[in-house]
Amino acid sequence: MAYTVPNTFSNGTVISSEEITENNDALRNYINGGVSASDISTLNPWVEAKHIMKGLYQPITNEYEMESGLSAGSPVFPFYHPGYFGSQFHKKGGSGRADVPNTHVDFYLVRDATVFFYYTISPRVLAPLDTSSPTNVLISLNVDGSTINTSQNSFTEQIEVNNSGGADEPIVSRYRRRTYSYQYVCEMTAGDHTIKLVGQSGATSVPLKFYTYSLQAFY
pLDDT number for residue 201: 82
The pLDDT score that the predictor gives to residue 177 is 61
- The string of pLDDT tens digits covering residues 11-31 is 888 889 999 999 999 998 888
Q: What are 31-73's pLDDT values in tens digits?
A: 888 888 777 777 666 677 677 777 888 887 788 888 888 888 8
Distances from the Cα of 85 to the Cα of 14, 46, 78, 102, 204, angstroms: 72, 54, 20, 10, 8
CA distance 100 to 206: 11
What's the CATH number of domain 73-162+171-218, 3.30.499.10, 3.40.50.2300, 3.90.1150.10, 2.60.120.760? 2.60.120.760
Quote the pTM value.
0.64
Asked whether the beta carbons of 110 and 191 are under 8 A apart, the reply is no
Percent of the chain with pLDDT over 90: 21
CA–CA dist 180, 122 (Å, integer): 6
Domain boundaries, the chain: 1-45, 73-162+171-218
- Per-residue pLDDT band for 79 (boundaries 50, 70, 90) equals low
Report the pLDDT value the prediction gives residue 209, as an integer from 0 to 100. Answer: 85
214, β-bridge pairs = 73, 118
pLDDT score, position 137: 80
- Please name which of 95, 116, 113 lies closest in space to residue 105, comparing C-alpha atoms: 116
Residue 195: closest CA among 178, 182, 208: 182
